[in-house]
Structure 1
Amino acid sequence: MKLRRQLLLVSLVALALPWAGCQYLRQVDAALAQGQMQALEATASAVAARLASAPQLIAPDPERHGRPPGAQLYVNSLPNAPLLDGYGDDWRPLQIPARELLDSSGEAMAQITLGRYTDRVYLLLTVADNTPAYQDPRTGLLAGGDAIELYTADRHYTLPVASQGAAQAHWYNPRRGSYERELRLRGRWTSSARGYQLELTLPYALTGGSLAVSIADRATSNGAPPQRSASTLPADGLPGKLVQPLPQLQAELDQFARPQLRLAVVDSEGFLLASSGQLARADETKPSQSWLRSWIYRRLLARESLPEMPEAQLPEKMTLNRTSAQQWFRGPRESRIGAVSVPVITRADDIVERPLLARVVALQSGEALQSLTESAAHRLWLISCAAAGAALLLLLGYASWLSWRIRRLHRAARNAVDASGKLRGNFPRSRLGDELGALNRAFASLLAELDQYHHYLRTLASKLSHELRTPLAVVRSSLDNLSASDLDDDGRRYAERAMDGSARLSGILNSLSAASNLEASIHQAETEQFDLADLLAVLVQSYGDAHREHRFALQKPAGELPCCGAPELLAQLLDKLVDNACSFAPPGSEIRLTAERAKDGYLLSVENDGPPLPEGYNHKLFDSLVSVRDDGCRAGHLGLGLHIARLIADFHRGRLTAANRQGGGGVIFTLQLPL
C-alpha cells in the first residue's frame, strides 16, 4: 500500500472526534435532563404542599373516601351532547379511556364510559356476550334474559337487553307496590357480532351523586340465574360516588400554570380531578428545522429506550403509588416528556399512616433541552467535520509531499547510473533535516565515493601503462643482453619465453595507452553532415575484403541517409562491432549489417551467428576490461573494443545495446543513433 493511502487510513482516526463529541453531548444532555426533572419535581412538590394544607379542595365529599376501591365511576366532561343512537360514534373522537368490568373469573366482560354535558349524564356500555338472551315479552318477566341494572342514591333501575330499539328502564315503587317505567332515563340498544351495546342518558340530579352498574348474563330468557355477572356495586349494596373534575381545585391549580407545563391532580384511584396547561408539541419549538434532521439527532443522542407516553390519559405508574416517582416517556417524533408524581398526604392529625388524598402529576416536554442539545450537536458535527476534513487535507498534503520527496529520491537513485553503468554524478542533495533528508545526503555521499572509485578505475589503465614502461624496458634490455651471451639449451629456452612474455606485456601496455588516448580524442572530435548510407556501403565492402572467411550483407533503405556526427568515429565503432562478430561467428557464416529509419533517428545493427551472451552480461560487455572470450587472453583481448564503441555512441548521444537473437544462435548489437 502506498504511503498516501496509509496516511489517508490513519487520518480516519479524526472521525473519533465526532464520536467523542457525541458522548460528551450525551453526558451534557443527561445532566440537563436531570436538572429539568429536579425543577419539575420542585414544582409538583410546591403544588402538593399547597393542596395538603387545603384538603377540602380535593375531598369536598368526606363520605367518598370511605367507599371501597373500585366502587366509584368517573364522569368525563363532554364538549357536546352525544347522539343517542346506540352506536357510540360520537364517543370515539373524544378518545376517552373506558373502564373495564370483570366477571367473577377475572375476564373482561364489558367496558363502560361516563360523561357529563350540562345537567345530564351520558353512559356508553359495551358488553361482550357470544350468546345474548334478549327480552321475551311472552314470558311476562321484567328481565327474563340478559339485563343491565343501575343503582343510584335512592333507586334501582332494571333495563332488559334488547337486540335493537329504545331502552326501557323500570324501577320498583314501594308506595304502589309495582314496577314503573322511568321516562327520564332514555337510551338505545344495538347488537354486534361480539355482543350488544347500550347508549343512554339521565339527569345528573336523578343519580344523587352516586351510581353503580351491574350486568347479568343469562343463557336463556326464562329468568334463570345468570351464568356470568359483572358489577361496580360494593358488597354493602351502596353505589359508589360519581367522580368528576372539581371547579375549585381547577381554579387553584390554574395559579401554578406555566407555558409548556401540564399539571394534573388525580385521586387515590387515579381519577383526574383537575388539569391545567398543555405540553408543547414536537414541532412548535423548532419551526425552522427539518424534522428528519431532528429525528436523526434524537436517535444519535438517545441514551436508552423510553416507554411510550399514553395519548389520552396519564401514565398509570404515576397514579397508583404513595411515593414520589419520576420517569421520562417517549412522545411524538421521538420527543421526550418528563413526568413527576408527588403524593398529597393530609396533615390533619398525627396518625402513623396518613391517608393519601391525591397525587400531583407534572408533565413537561423536553423539547427545549433537546433543541439546545441538537443545536449543539449540529454545531459539533459541523466543527468536527470541518476539523476532520482539514486534518484529512493536511495529512493528504503531507503524504503527497512525502510521496513526492520519496519519488524524487527514487528517480534520482534510478537515474544515477546510465544504461552503460556509468555514474552520472548529478545526484541532488536535500537541505532538510529530517530522516528523508539524511537518507538523501547519505545516497549522495555514497554515489560521490563510487564516482571517485570509478574515476580511479577508468584512469588505472593509463597509470599502469605509464608506471610499468620503465621497469618493462629494464627487463627487456636485460633479456636482450642475456640472449647475446652464451647460454645452454635450457637457459636459452627460458630466455626466449621471457622475451615473448615481455613482448605480450608491451603490447598490452600499448593497447591501454591507445585506449586512453582514444577516449580523450573522442571528446575533441568535430561533427559534420554526411551520408550514412554511403559510409555503410564503403565499410561493408572493405569488411568483405579484410575478412574473406565470412560473408557480409547490408540491408538499408533506398536513397541517402543524412546524418550529423563524426564519420571516422562511427566507422571505428562499426569496426569494433564487426571485429567482435568475426571473433565469435563460425567460418563461412553471414554477418548482417542493417540500417533502419526510426522516429527520431536511425537504428544500426550488427548480427552474427555463434554462441549467445552469458546471462547478466548484456550491459557488462561495454565496461572497460570486460571480456567473455575463453582463450585465456592468449590473444591479448582486454575487453576494450566494446568499451570504446560505447564511448563513441555516448559522444553521438546514442545508445548501444546487446542482446541474443530470437530463437537463439547468435547475438545482435543495436545502435540507436539520433538525427
Structure 2
Amino acid sequence: MKLRFSIRLQLLVLSLFLFAIPWLGYKYVWELEQYLRIGQEQTMIGTARAVATALHERPALFDSQSAYLQNVRPGTDLYAPPIDVPIQLDGRLQEWQAVSPLIQSYNEENVVTWFAEQNVPVTLSVEHMVGRYDQYFYAMFAVTDDKVVFRAPNSLSVDRSDHLLIGMLDAQDTLHRYIISPYDSGWVNAYQLDDNPGRFRAVDNALEIQGRWELTSTGYNVELRFPITMTSGALAFAIVDVDDPANRAKQYAVGTANPNQSDDLGTVVTPSPEIERILSGLRYADSRVWVIDKHKRVLARSGSIHSSLGLNAGSQKSSSQGWWHYIEQQWLLPLYYQILTRPPGDFVDELADAYALAGKDINHALSGQPDSLWRLTPDNKAVILSAAYPIYIGDSVMGAVVVEQTTHGIRTLRNRALEQLFHVILAVMLLGTLGLLMFAHRISSRIRNLRDDTEAVIDPNGKIIGSLPPSRHGDEIGDLSRSFSAVLSRLQQYNSYLENMASRLSHELRTPIAVVRSSLDTLDEVQDPARQQVFLSRAQSGISRLSSILNSMSEATRLEQMISQEDTERFDIVKVVGGCVEGYQHAYPHRQFALRLSCEKVQLNGSPDLVAQMLDKIIANAVEFSQPESTIALHMWQEQRTVKLSITNTGPLLPKGMHEQLTQSMVSVRAEGNNADGPPHLGLGLYIANMIVAFHKGNIVLQDLPDKTGVCVVISLPVPQN
C-alpha cells in the first residue's frame, strides 16, 4: 500500500529542521563558554602577576634558613601551618584535629641516634607536627611506647628516662639544646643543656618552653609551646626511649633529626605573617591565593576556593510568583536540566590543609615561566583553574604565587544564557510549528476545495454540467483555480461545438445528398435523354459539394504538413499585402477594400505564399460576415521590432466568450440555414490563419470594435534584426 505523503505531513517533516536551532544555539553557548574560560585563564595569570609584583625583590619576606635550601628533606624539614585557635596544653591533642592531615609519622626508619646496638628492636613510634599561633610555635607528639619510664625521684640526671630532646639555632646560628624529662605526667618545662653535644647536663631552666606530658593507654602525649623568636628556623625534635627502669640505659632516639648536630637540624617553614598581610590587603575575595617557596611549601594563603566563583555570575533572578515563573520553575527548568548541570553547592577540596603544592603550572612557574592548569576535584563536582607566576629575588626564582578559582561563575552564566536561549527557541519552535501546520491546513483545504469543485462540474460520464467559479486569491492556488475555470469553460464551449457539429455536418451534407438522391430517383422515371442529362448534372453537382466538404476537412492536416516542409525566405510583407488587396477588388466586386500603409517596406523571414493564404482566409471571413457594398479596411504599421496588420469589417459582433476559441480547429459560429447553396463552413478558416501566423512566430487577436459596429482582426509578426 502506497504511503500518502500529504502537504501537512511534508510541512511537519520540514518543521523538524527547526530542531537544528537549539542545537546551533547550544553549540554557540558552549563555544562562548570556551572563550570565557580562556578569558578567565588570562585574568588569573594577570592576578598572579599582580600579586607576584608586590613580592618581587623583598628577601625579608622569605625565611633565610628554609627558602634558600637546595633540597627539602621530608620529615626533617618541618611545616608549621597557622592554627585557628590557641592550643590548650592538656595533652589531649583535640585542637590538632583541624590540621590532622599534616601530622607526620616517625618509626624505626626515623631513628636519628643509636645508643645501644643497632639490632635492638624499635618498639617506639611517634606522630608529630608543628603549628603556629600568634607569636608561638606549638608542637605535639603522640608517642606509642610499650614501656614508659619516667625520671627517678630526686634524680639529678635528666637523660636516664624517656625524654624529649630539642635542638634549634638562634639568630646568630648558635646551637641550643633543650630536654624535657618529667618525673610524672603533668605540666612540664624544659631544661637547657650545656654546649657540649656529647653530654646531657642541664645548666638552666628554659621556662619559655612549656607544655604537658600526659600518659595514654599506648604510651604518652606531649604538647609544647615556645616563642618563635627562640629559633631562626632550624629545628629538630627527638624522642629517646628507655625501656629498663633498673639500668635506665638509652636505646635509641626517634625524631625529625639529631638535635645534637647543628648541621643535621631541619628547617621549619611557617607561613609569613607579612605576606599574609599583603594578601589580605589586596582583598582578592573571588580567588584563593597561595604563596609558596621554591620547595613548593606554602608560605601564605588567602581566600577560600568555595567562595571563589571566578567570573561574576551576576544578580540572582527575581523571585516573582506569576504564572510564567510557575511554568518556568515547574516545567521548563526541570526539562532543561536534563542536559544542563548546576554548579555544586559543595565539593571536596583536597588542598584545604595543604602545606605544599604540586602541579605542572607550579613546576613551570618555579622554572621562570608563568602557566595555568585546569583540574577536577576528587569528587568530579567542580573544575578548578589555577595560575602560577614566579617570584624573583634578583635573578633567582624564590617562590611563586598561585591563584585558584572555580568555573562555577562561568557555568552559572552559561546555564542562564542557555535557559534564556531555550525559552526563545521553544517559543519560536512552537509558534513556527503551529504556523506551519495552520498554513499547511489552509493550503490543503483550498486544494481539496478546488478538487471538490472541479469534480462537481463534471458528471460521471465526463460531461461538463456546470462552471467553476474563479478564485479571487492572488497566489499560485488562486491562479491554478482561475486556470481550471478557464480550461473548463473552453472545454464546455468545445464540447458544445462538438455536440452541435453533427447537426452542422448533417446540415452541410443534407442538401447535396438530397440533390443526388432526388436526381437519381427522377432519372429512373425520365426516359428523355435531354432531361436525364439535366438530372445527371444535378447529381454531379451534389457529389462535387460532398467532395468539397471532405477536402475542407482534410485541408488543415495537409496545410500543417506543408508548413513543416516549407522553406523560408526574405520577403517584403508590404508588397505581398498590397498585391493581395488588388486581387480582392476583382474577387469580391460587391465589397470595397481600403488599404492604409504606415510603413513603406518591412522585410520578414517566412513564406509569402503562406502569408497570402492567411490573408485570404481572414478576408473571406470578413466578406462573409459583412454587408454588400460595405468597406473592409486594412491598416499596416510597425511598432519597434513588430509589424502589425489590422483587418476591420462592419457586421455582427463576435460571439460572447468565443474570442479565443474562434482560432481553434472546427469552431464555427454561424446562423443555421444561411448560405445553404454556398461553400461548406466547417470552422477551419481562422484555424489555418492562426497556424500560419504561429509559423511566423506571431499572434492573431480577434476583437469587437469599440463602437460595437463590427469586428477587427489584428495580426502581429516579429521583424528580424538586420
Q: TM-score, structure 1 length as denominator?
A: 0.53
Listed one character per residue, the Cα deviations across residues 646-669 of structure 1 (whole Å, up to 9, x for unaligned) are xxxxxxxxxxxxxxxxxxxxxxxx
- Identity across the alignment (%): 26
SS in 2 for 1:361: strand
* Partner amino acid, structure 2, of 1:288: Q
Q: Which residue of 2 aligns with 1:344?
A: 391
Listed one character per residue, the Cα deviations across residues 381-414 of structure 1 (whole Å, up to 9, x for unaligned) are 3344444444334433332332223222332344
Does 1:69 pair with 2:72?
yes
Q: Which residue of 1 aligns with 2:15?
A: 11
Equivalent pair of 2:67/2:293 in contact (CA under 8 Å):
no
Q: Which residue of 2 aligns with 1:392?
A: 433
Structure 2 counterparts to residues 41-52 of structure 1, below 5 A: 41-52=45-56
C-alpha change, 1:32 and 1:484, in structure 2 (3 Å) is same
1:451 Cα deviation (Å)? Answer: 3.0
Does 1:265 pair with 2:291?
yes
Q: Which residue of 1 aligns with 2:656?
A: none
C-alpha change, 1:299 and 1:374, in structure 2 (3 Å) is closer
In 2, Cα distance between equivalents of 1:453 and 1:22: 63
Equivalent pair of 1:166/1:187 in contact (CA under 8 Å):
yes
In 1, Cα distance between equivalents of 2:159 and 2:433: 86
SS in 1 for 2:264: coil
Equivalent pair of 2:467/2:488 in contact (CA under 8 Å):
no
1:91 Cα deviation (Å)? Answer: 3.6
- Choose from 10, 22, 25 the match for 1:21: 25
SS in 2 for 1:11: helix
In 1, Cα distance between equivalents of 2:243 and 2:447: 98
* Partner amino acid, structure 2, of 1:25: V
SS in 1 for 2:210: coil
1:35 Cα deviation (Å)? Answer: 3.3
SS in 2 for 1:422: coil
Q: Which residue of 1 aligns with 2:571?
A: none
In 1, Cα distance between equivalents of 2:279 and 2:358: 21
Q: Which residue of 2 aligns with 1:560?
A: none
Structure 2 counterparts to residues 289-438 of structure 1, below 5 A: 289=317, 296=337, 299=340, 310-313=351-354, 316-317=358-359, 319-320=362-363, 321-322=366-367, 323-329=369-375, 337-347=384-394, 354-364=395-405, 373-419=414-460, 421-430=462-471, 435-438=476-479
Equivalent pair of 2:126/2:141 in contact (CA under 8 Å):
yes
Q: Which residue of 1 aligns with 2:568?
A: none
In 2, Cα distance between equivalents of 1:298 and 1:147: 64
C-alpha change, 1:224 and 1:450, in structure 2 (3 Å) is farther
Listed one character per residue, the Cα deviations across residues 178-218 of structure 1 (whole Å, up to 9, x for unaligned) are 799999342446569xxx89562333469745433568999
1:340 Cα deviation (Å)? Answer: 1.9
* Partner amino acid, structure 1, of 2:132: R
SS in 2 for 1:211: strand
In 2, Cα distance between equivalents of 1:479 and 1:144: 173
Equivalent pair of 1:170/1:179 in contact (CA under 8 Å):
no
Structure 2 counterparts to residues 1-150 of structure 1, below 5 A: 1-59=5-63, 61-62=64-65, 65-66=68-69, 68-70=71-73, 71-82=76-87, 88-92=93-97, 94=98, 97-98=101-102, 100-101=104-105, 112-118=128-134, 120-124=136-140, 134-135=146-147
1:38 Cα deviation (Å)? Answer: 2.7
Listed one character per residue, the Cα deviations across residues 65-114 of structure 1 (whole Å, up to 9, x for unaligned) are 2474133212122222345676654444x3564155588999xx986443
Does 1:212 pair with 2:236?
yes
Equivalent pair of 1:104/1:230 in contact (CA under 8 Å):
no
In 1, Cα distance between equivalents of 2:138 and 2:240: 21
Equivalent pair of 1:309/1:329 in contact (CA under 8 Å):
no
* Partner amino acid, structure 1, of 2:177: R
C-alpha change, 1:168 and 1:319, in structure 2 (3 Å) is farther
C-alpha change, 1:266 and 1:197, in structure 2 (3 Å) is farther
Equivalent pair of 1:120/1:202 in contact (CA under 8 Å):
yes
Q: Which residue of 1 aligns with 2:274?
A: 248
Equivalent pair of 1:417/1:424 in contact (CA under 8 Å):
yes
In 2, Cα distance between equivalents of 1:298 and 1:89: 46
In 2, Cα distance between equivalents of 1:146 and 1:462: 146
* Partner amino acid, structure 2, of 1:44: A
- Choose from 190, 199, 203 the match for 2:226: 203
Listed one character per residue, the Cα deviations across residues 461-515 of structure 1 (whole Å, up to 9, x for unaligned) are 66677667667767876897799999xxxxxxxxxxxxxxxxxxxxxxxxxxxxx
Equivalent pair of 2:371/2:387 in contact (CA under 8 Å):
yes
* Partner amino acid, structure 1, of 2:387: V
Equivalent pair of 1:48/1:359 in contact (CA under 8 Å):
yes
Listed one character per residue, the Cα deviations across residues 219-239 of structure 1 (whole Å, up to 9, x for unaligned) are 99999989x978466997632
1:442 Cα deviation (Å)? Answer: 4.5
- Choose from 316, 325, 334 the match for 1:288: 316
C-alpha change, 1:478 and 1:468, in structure 2 (3 Å) is same
* Partner amino acid, structure 2, of 1:273: L
In 1, Cα distance between equivalents of 2:523 and 2:142: 150
Deviates more, 1:404-413 or 1:451-460: 451-460
In 2, Cα distance between equivalents of 1:148 and 1:219: 15
1:296 Cα deviation (Å)? Answer: 4.8
1:360 Cα deviation (Å)? Answer: 1.6
In 1, Cα distance between equivalents of 2:6 and 2:28: 36
Between Structure 1 and Structure 2, how many residues are aligned? 462
Listed one character per residue, the Cα deviations across residues 139-195 of structure 1 (whole Å, up to 9, x for unaligned) are x9x9999998765553376899x9xx8799998966996799999342446569xxx
Structure 1 gap segments, 5+ residues each: 348-353, 487-675
1:326 Cα deviation (Å)? Answer: 1.6
SS in 2 for 1:316: coil
Deviates more, 1:440-449 or 1:42-51: 440-449
* Partner amino acid, structure 2, of 1:117: Y
In 2, Cα distance between equivalents of 1:145 and 1:446: 126
* Partner amino acid, structure 1, of 2:44: L
C-alpha change, 1:310 and 1:334, in structure 2 (3 Å) is same
C-alpha change, 1:189 and 1:377, in structure 2 (3 Å) is farther
Q: TM-score, structure 2 length as denominator?
A: 0.50
Structure 2 gap segments, 5+ residues each: 111-124, 153-157, 170-175, 320-328, 528-722
In 2, Cα distance between equivalents of 1:22 and 1:335: 21
Equivalent pair of 2:362/2:371 in contact (CA under 8 Å):
no
Q: Which residue of 2 aligns with 1:155?
A: 177
In 2, Cα distance between equivalents of 1:230 and 1:220: 21
1:257 Cα deviation (Å)? Answer: 2.8
1:33 Cα deviation (Å)? Answer: 3.5
Q: Which residue of 2 aligns with 1:499?
A: none
In 1, Cα distance between equivalents of 2:160 and 2:433: 87
